[in-house]
Amino acid sequence: MSAVKITVDSTCDLSPELVEKHDITVIPLYTILGDKSYADGREIQPEGIYEFVAKNNVLPKTSAASVDDYLQIFKKYTDAGMEVIHFSISSDMSSSYQNAVIAAQELGGVYVVDSMNLSTGSGLLVLDAADYREQGLPASEIAKLVREHVPLVRASFVIDNLDYLRMGGRCSAVAVLGANLLKIKPRIEVKNGKMGMGGKYRGMYDKVSIKYAEDMLSLPNINTRRVFVTHTKCDESLINQVVETVKSLVNFEELLVTTAGCVITSHCGPNTLGVLFEVKKQ
């Protein structure tokens, strides 16, 4: 039986510790600042996004990993006699998925999974695959099983400030002004591979974040295997409050706190926080 290698787009937002622990290879997408392109997570970190936006009052652009990027990584492992399972950001959000599929078809022995998600919504699926790999399953079976998990992921975020959404053309200046004056905080949810409005909260962000976590964890049939608390530049005391709220509501086997990378940062800005998990298969 061939050894199985798991690779993933950098948009999965897994921490370096998790990447090392589960022997995962991260393939970067790109962030473009002005006329320079940077490999996400390698050549640029979220702090570089904040500095660029503060200086220029515009958002950076992002671009997919190329077919050649995927070919180089996949071939390294297939040439070593390994099978590869690759997890991409949602195909509705980037051409990365299609580029990975083209590379996989050229090589063979590579299974590309469309996560239909981003951030640790994808990360949950990656860790599911790592769990299955530990059971000694072949890549084809792991890919089949994990694809069944895709619709079970519940990924959402609550956003403190709409300025980044405005700069990205996703929210008008008038709507931003009204929301900021009324202290409205939107909840963004990923459904069917797309981001959309899932609800709105009103009030101070710390209290809103707790209410959001309570709302998400009141969903029925939660899979208690693992949960992510993923954020962009949130205050440590707030993160701790949310973590304690999660612990008080659901007894997850594994609770993981991660900082979101450049893609979520570029779309949502600082003070964005999500509680991400799966529900059980019916």
Last residue of a domain, one of 134, 150, 166: 150
Query: How many structural domains is the chain composed of?
Result: 2
Confidence of residue 221 (pLDDT cuts 50, 70, 90): very high
Interval 222-244: pLDDT, tens: 999 999 999 999 999 999 999 99
Are 104 and 12 in the same domain?
Answer: yes
Nearest-angstrom CA–CA distance, 24 and 134: 13
In this structure, how many other beta carbons lie within 10 angstroms of the beta carbon of residue 240? 12
Are 109 and 178 in the same domain?
Answer: no
Confidence of residue 5 (pLDDT cuts 50, 70, 90): very high
The pTM of the full predicted model, rounded to 2 decimals, is 0.93
Which amino acid, 16? P
Are 141 and 33 in the same domain?
Answer: yes
Q: The tokens of 56 are what?
A: 């220029």
Last residue of a domain, one of 127, 150, 173: 150
Q: Are 60 and 49 in contact (CB under 8 A)?
A: yes
Q: Which CATH number does the domain housing residue 79 bear?
A: 3.40.50.10170
3-state secondary structure of 211: helix
What is the residue range of 49's domain?
4-150
Are 160 and 140 in the same domain?
Answer: no
Interval 128-185: pLDDT, tens: 999 999 999 999 999 999 999 999 999 999 988 776 765 554 444 434 344 454 577 8
Q: Are 61 and 32 in contact (CB under 8 A)?
A: yes
As beta bridge partners, residue 83 has: 4
- What confidence score (pLDDT) does residue 175 get? 44
